[in-house]
C-alpha cells in the first residue's frame, strides 16, 4: 500500500469546500437511530487487519483525539498539503507514505484506536477526515498509546524493514500511557488474542525495532490541564441530564467500566440520598444514577442542591460498589465535590478484592456547610490531585520507553508538523538543525517559531553511517537483545 501521487490542487479544493470533514460520529447502519451501535469508520477499523507499506519511507502519525488534544487533528489536516509538499520539495525523506492513527482511551471510549492504511495520495485526506474525534478519555491522565504501539509493532508490515531501514513514528499527545497492554483490549479492538498482559515497555521496545519513534508533546499550563480534566465530569453530568452549574453543594462521581458504583450523601438531618431515595426533604437530588444494568463504560452519578437551597450543617459523602458487571480487579474512580463555588477532587480504587454493598463503602469527604460563606480559593492539595497531568510527570514516563531526545515538547500546536519534518530530516541525515531552521525562515516563520522548533529538535543527532538500524533478513532470530518478542 502507499502508491499514487498527492495532488495539491485536489487538496485545496477539498479544504475550500469542507465536504463533511470530521463529521463522522461513529454511527452504524442507521445514523438516525440513537441506540444504534457506534463504531469506527470502516476505513479505520483494524479488527483482524494488518497495515502494510511498500514505499521507501513509512510514516505513522498517531494523534490523541481525546478532549485535551482533539483540535490537533484539525491542525494536521489543514497543514497536510504543506507537509507533503515540503517532503517532496526538500527531499527530507524519499518515497513517503503515511498511516494516520487516532488514539483514545480503551477503558472508556467507543473508538479508542482508529488506524488508516499507509497512503501517499489524496486518500490521506479521506482517511484523516473520517476520524471520529470522540473527545473522550477516562479522566485519569492516561490514554491507550500502548495499544497503538502494540498494534503497529505486531501488525504493520514495512518493506523498508526488509532493506535494513526503519520507518518514522510520531505520537502526538499530552498524557501518559497505561502500564500494560490489556488482553481484553487486544481481543475486542484488534481482533487478536494474547495469553496475558504485555508490559508497555515491551510494546514500545518492539515498536522501535521497526520505527524511529518520537513523542510530540504540545504543552499546556496547569490551569488549562485542570480545566480539561474537570470538563470530562461536567460533560458526563450534563449529557446525562444532571445539574452541574448554579449549585450550592454538588458531588459527582465518575468511573470507566460497567460496574455499578453508587454515590451516597448523608444530609445534615441524617437523611441519606442514594439510588433508593433520590430526593431528600431538604432539597438534595440524585439526578443521575447510571450502570444499574452496566449500560456504559463512561458512567457518572450526581447529587446536588441548587444554589440557595442546601441546608446548613454537616454532610458526609461515600461511594459504594453495588454490583460488579465486569472484571475482577479494582475500579478506579474520581469524585468532584463543589461547596459554595469551591471545588475539591478525590481519587480512589474500589473493590480491590471484589467487595460489594456495605463491605465496599469508602468515605470520600465530610464537611460543615454554611450557605452564608462563599469561598473560592486554591486547595493546597489540589496540585497533587492533578499530578498525573503535569508535563514533567508525563515526560518522565515517556522517557522510560523512548530516548529522552525523542520527546519533543512544543508550545504551539501549529508547530507539530514542522517538528515532525525536522525530526525526519535530521534522523535521515538530509538536513541538520541549522539548515532546517533556514528552511523554516524561508517559509516565513517568525524568529520565535523557528526557535521553538529548534529547541524541540535540539537533542536529536544524525545517526552514524555505520551499521544497520534494523536487523536484516535472518538476523532478527539470533540477535542478542534486552527486549523480548511480543
Each residue of 161-207: pLDDT tens digit? 999 999 999 999 988 999 999 999 999 999 999 999 999 999 999 99
Percent of the chain with pLDDT over 90: 62
**What mean pLDDT is predicted for residues 89-94?**
95
Residue 68 pLDDT: 62
User: Which of 127-131, 277-281, 399-403 shows the lowest mean pLDDT across its residues?
Assistant: 127-131
Give pTM, 2 decimals. Answer: 0.72
Residue 372 pLDDT: 82
Residue 204 pLDDT: 98
Q: Is 22 exposed, middle or buried (0-12, 13-18, 19+ CB in 10 A)?
A: middle
Each residue of 434-473: pLDDT tens digit? 999 999 999 989 999 999 999 999 999 766 544 334 333 3
pLDDT at 15 exceeding the cut of 80: no
Packing angle, helices 70-90 and 416-428, rounded to 10:
40
Residue 386 pLDDT: 58
DSSP letters along 174-231, please? SSEE-SEE-HHHIIIIIS---SS-EEHHHHHHHHHHHEEEEEEEE---HHHHHHHHHH
Percent of the chain with pLDDT over 70: 83
**What mean pLDDT is predicted for residues 54-64?**
96
The C-alpha angle with vertex 114 and arms to 110 and 120, in degrees rounded to 5, equals 160
| Domain ranges within the chain, ordered by starting residue | 8-219+390-457, 232-377
Each residue of 125-157: pLDDT tens digit? 988 888 888 766 555 678 999 999 999 999 999
Between 272 and 132, the higher pLDDT residue? 272
Packing angle, helices 433-442 and 447-457, rounded to 10:
150
Helix (H) or strand (E) holding 51: strand 51-53
| Chain mean pLDDT for the chain | 86
**What mean pLDDT is predicted for residues 342-346?**
85
Quickly state the pLDDT bin for 111 (edges 50, 70, 90).
confident
**What mean pLDDT is predicted for residues 355-375?**
88
Return the biggest CA–CA distance within the chain: 78
CATH number of 8-219+390-457: 3.40.50.410
Residue 192 pLDDT: 95
Quickly state the pLDDT bin for 35 (edges 50, 70, 90).
very low
pLDDT at 403 exceeding the cut of 90: yes
Amino acid at each position: 500500500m502507499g502508491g499514487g501521487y498527492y495532488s495539491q490542487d485536489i487538496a485545496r479544493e477539498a479544504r475550500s469546500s469542507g465536504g463533511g470533514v470530521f463529521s463522522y460520529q461513529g454511527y452504524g447502519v442507521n445514523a438516525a437511530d440513537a441506540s444504534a451501535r457506534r463504531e469506527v469508520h470502516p476505513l479505520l477499523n483494524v479488527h483482524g487487519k494488518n497495515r502494510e507499506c511498500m514505499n521507501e519511507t513509512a510514516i505513522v502519525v498517531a494523534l490523541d483525539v481525546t478532549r485535551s488534544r482533539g483540535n490537533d487533528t484539525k491542525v494536521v489536516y489543514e497543514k497536510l498539503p504543506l507537509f507533503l509538499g515540503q517532503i517532496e520539495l526538500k527531499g527530507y525523506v524519499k518515497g513517503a507514505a503515511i498511516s494516520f492513527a487516532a488514539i483514545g482511551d480503551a477503558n472508556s471510549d467507543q473508538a479508542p484506536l482508529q488506524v488508516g492504511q499507509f497512503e501517499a495520495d489524496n486518500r490521506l485526506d479521506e482517511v484523516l477526515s473520517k476520524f471520529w474525534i470522540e473527545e473522550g478519555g477516562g479522566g485519569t491522565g492516561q490514554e491507550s498509546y500502548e495499544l497503538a504501539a502494540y498494534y503497529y509493532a505486531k501488525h504493520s508490515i514495512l518493506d523498508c524493514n526488509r532493506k535494513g531501514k526503519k520507518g518514522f513514528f510520531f505520537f502526538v499527545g499530552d498524557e501518559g500511557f497505561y502500564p500494560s497492554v490489556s488482553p481484553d483490549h487486544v481481543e475486542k479492538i484488534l481482533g487478536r488474542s494474547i495469553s496475558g498482559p504485555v508490559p508497555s515497555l515491551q510494546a514500545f521496545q518492539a515498536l522501535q525495532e521497526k520505527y524511529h519513534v518520537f513523542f510530540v508533546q504540545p504543552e499546556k499550563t496547569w490551569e488549562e490541564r485542570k480545566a480539561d480534566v474537570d470538563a470530562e465530569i461536567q460533560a458526563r453530568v450534563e449529557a446525562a441530564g444532571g445539574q452541574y452549574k448554579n449549585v450550592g453543594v454538588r458531588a459527582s462521581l465518575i468511573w470507566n467500566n460497567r460496574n455499578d458504583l453508587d454515590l451516597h450523601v448523608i444530609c445534615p438531618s441524617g437523611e441519606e440520598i442514594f439510588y433508593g431515595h433520590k430526593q431528600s426533604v431538604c432539597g438534595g437530588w440524585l439526578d443521575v444514577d447510571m450502570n444499574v444494568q452496566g449500560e456504559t463504560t463512561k458512567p457518572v452519578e450526581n447529587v446536588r442542591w441548587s444554589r440557595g437551597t442546601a441546608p446548613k450543617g454537616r454532610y458526609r459523602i461515600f461511594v459504594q460498589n453495588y454490583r460488579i458487571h465486569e472484571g475482577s480487579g479494582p475500579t478506579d474512580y474520581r469524585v468532584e465535590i463543589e461547596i459554595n463555588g469551591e471545588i475539591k477532587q478525590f481519587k480512589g480504587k474500589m473493590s480491590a478484592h471484589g467487595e460489594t454493598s456495605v463491605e465496599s463503602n469508602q468515605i470520600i469527604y465530610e464537611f460543615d456547610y454554611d450557605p452564608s460563606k462563599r469561598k473560592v480559593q486554591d486547595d493546597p492539595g489540589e496540585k497533587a490531585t492533578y499530578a498525573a497531568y503535569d508535563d514533567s510527570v508525563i515526560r518522565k514516563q515517556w522517557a522510560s520507553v523512548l530516548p529522552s531526545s525523542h520527546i519533543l515538547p512544543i508550545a504551539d500546536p501549529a508547530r507539530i508538523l514542522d517538528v515532525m519534518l525536522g525530526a525526519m530530516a535530521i534522523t535521515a541525515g538530509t538536513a541538520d538543525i541549522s539548515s532546517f531552521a533556514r528552511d523554516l525562515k524561508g517559509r516565513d516563520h517568525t524568529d520565535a517559531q523557528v526557535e521553538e522548533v529548534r529547541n524541540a529538535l535540539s537533542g536529536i543527532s544524525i545517526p552514524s553511517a555505520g551499521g544497520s538500524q534494523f536487523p536484516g533478513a535472518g538476523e532478527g532470530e539470533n540477535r542478542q537483545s534486552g527486549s523480548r518478542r511480543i
